[in-house]
Amino acid sequence: MNLRSREPLIFKRSVEGKIGMDLPQLDVPPAEDTRPLHLKRKDFGVLPSCSEPEIIRHFTRLSLWNYGMDQGMYPLGSCTMKHNPRLNEVTSALPGFSESHPMASDEHLQGNLELIFTLQEWLKEVTGLHAVTLQPSAGAAGELTGVLLIRAYHLAHGHHKKFILVPDSAHGTNPATAAMAGYDVIDVASGPDGCVSFEDITDSVTGKVKRGFNSVIQEHGADIAGLMITNPNTLGIFESRIGDICSEIHRVGGLVYMDGANMNALVGVARPGDFGIDVMHMNLHKTMSTPHGGGGPGAGPVACVAALEPFLPRPVVVRDTQKIGEGEVPEHRYRWDWNRPQSIGKVHTFFGNYGMLVRALTYCMSHGSDGLREATLRAIVNANYVRSQLVGVYHLPVTSPTMHEVVFNDAIQAKNGVHTLDIAKRLIDYGFHPPTVYFPMVVSGALMIEPTETESKEELDAFIHAMKSIAQEASESPDLVHQAPVTAPLRRLDETTAARKPVLRWLPNSVT
């Protein structure tokens, strides 16, 4: 077996006594171990013993199995896998940012605080909202922060409300967030256009009725704390009645949370604050080009209206402006303000994932407001180009206008026994990362494609060609598609066993 395709676990490379690090002899008396007994680890487990080159080769080989943005198109719908500009890496590595200490005094952190303040100003402009916190470290953390703001607001006004409405096309994190914040979730049906339905929807086959927006508002009215909505929604469709939805929620005393996961379809074109949103998060690792997952931690800033500002996580950066004299440039001083008695408290240690904030501001400032708008428009054009080339080859279950992503399904290929999972696996053989599959759940067998503005027409054409070839294979030689992937280091993985009997930790007596 080729070394490059069968890398054993690092534990299997281990040989007792090998060491990758040369520690000096202890030349002082050993310190007394004063750790309280109950804090000491009883089972220390096993650490592998390898040399430095062995460790480097192990992880380098594993990294060659990986697939990332730097290798090719990564059309993972809803995730917005866009290029991470290298300029972001230059600025975030500047020693003034990378080596400053979060516990240094405000006086020594003026530049760092100014960066936080400035990024907040950008995000306020982009969202059309009044105030921003940069603390939350991911989209879901932002959601929870936002809904806790809604809760704190209602409680401060003496309102004990029970429900959060969530459209059935929402990200799974939305109902989870509402439940975490102590609310009961009410599902709202979407209509055949993929948007929130005002009327109840009756399934033509089963006769089952799903509640629409109007009847939920009528029944629960003043008990509704708010609505969580993703716009554009998970079908990549702009909720065309978002203004009506917000004013109805406001009429019954609720607040509207927007999941800003798809904000990259709006930046520079439409502002949530202008269409009635009260609070929202943005994913800097989507919209603002900071790395995803293994490439770096996330960041999920939250923006809100003035009425929610007193509840924001503390501390908050404030700017004091000193007038020096007539005609002179005013001098700004930045400081942390802890005096926020109504704050929901901290949601992250220190000040959020700071390195991501540097990257996001770099992205904003290097693009400028016109560049941010241009990126949005190109993302929408790219998704529509993919749609126009693949519609008919793959079934398009909802035909409303596409924003930044397009959702097909496997209805045409399923006639030959080829399903979404097979199509996704076959794309690996063509050198592409598969799109998001089986989500959103309102579409059976969904294939959710988000090309982002990153891709050129040439890259898009290569992807479209691969998708068309797979469709042809599905009708002519379905077995070929069933066997995919055939060129990857590992073939089709047993996802069922992995989910039913997950092995999360290697132990000395493990089989593999």
Partner 1 sequence: MSYPPNLKYTKDHEWIQMDDAQSLIGITQYAQEALGDVVFVDLPEVGSTFKSGGVFGTVESVKTVSDLFSPIDLEVTEVNAELKDHPEWVNEDPYGKAWMIKVKPLSSGTDLMSAAEYEKLIASESH
Counting residues that bind partner 1 (by CB under 8 A) gives 15
- Per-residue string for binding with partner 1, 159-178, x by CB under 8 A? -------------x------
**Contact 175/185 with Cβ under 8 angstroms?**
yes
Q: Which stretch binds partner 1 (CB under 8 A): 95-103, 205-213, 359-367, 469-477?
A: 205-213
Residue for token pair 């990564």: 74
Q: Which of 206, 321, 322, 512 binds partner 1 (CB under 8 A)?
A: 206
Nearer to partner 1, 210 or 340 (CB): 210
Does residue 438 bind partner 1 (CB under 8 A)? yes
Residue 226, strand partner residues? 164, 255
**Total residues belonging to the chain:** 512
Q: Which stretch binds partner 1 (CB under 8 A): 20-28, 31-39, 198-206, 280-288?
A: 198-206
Nearer to partner 1, 2 or 206 (CB): 206
Q: Which of 178, 249, 437, 448 binds partner 1 (CB under 8 A)?
A: 437
Q: Which stretch binds partner 1 (CB under 8 A): 26-34, 39-47, 234-242, 491-499?
A: 491-499
Token pair for residue 191?
């209509």
Least spacing, CB of residue 426 vs partner 1, in Å:
17
Does residue 500 bind partner 1 (CB under 8 A)? yes
Could you tell me which of 237, 233, 293 has the C-alpha nearest to residue 74?
A: 293
Q: Which stretch binds partner 1 (CB under 8 A): 203-211, 345-353, 402-410, 458-466?
A: 203-211
Residue for token pair 């192990």: 58
Residue 297 and residue 88: Cα distance in Å, rounded?
14
Residue 383 and residue 404: Cα distance in Å, rounded?
5
Least spacing, CB of residue 300 vs partner 1, in Å:
23
Residue type at 193 in one-letter notation:
D
Does residue 205 bind partner 1 (CB under 8 A)? yes
Least spacing, CB of residue 172 vs partner 1, in Å:
8
Nearer to partner 1, 143 or 410 (CB): 410
Token pair for residue 45?
């487990």
**Contact 336/316 with Cβ under 8 angstroms?**
yes
Token pair for residue 16?
């007792």
Could you tell me which of 264, 295, 260, 299 has the C-alpha nearest to residue 450?
A: 264
DSSP sequence for 44-102: --------HHHHHHHHHHHHHH---TTTS---BTTT------HHHHHHHTSHHHHS--T
Residue type at 197 in one-letter notation:
S
Does residue 421 bind partner 1 (CB under 8 A)? yes
- Per-residue string for binding with partner 1, 305-344, x by CB under 8 A? ----------------------------------------
Residue 159 and residue 225: Cα distance in Å, rounded?
9
Q: Which stretch binds partner 1 (CB under 8 A): 85-93, 147-155, 243-251, 436-444?
A: 436-444
Which residues have a Cβ under 8 Å from the Cβ of 62 and sit 6 or more positions away?
7
Does residue 499 bind partner 1 (CB under 8 A)? yes
Q: Residues in the site for partner 1, rule: CB under 8 A?
A: 172, 203, 205-208, 420-421, 437-438, 441, 495-496, 499-500
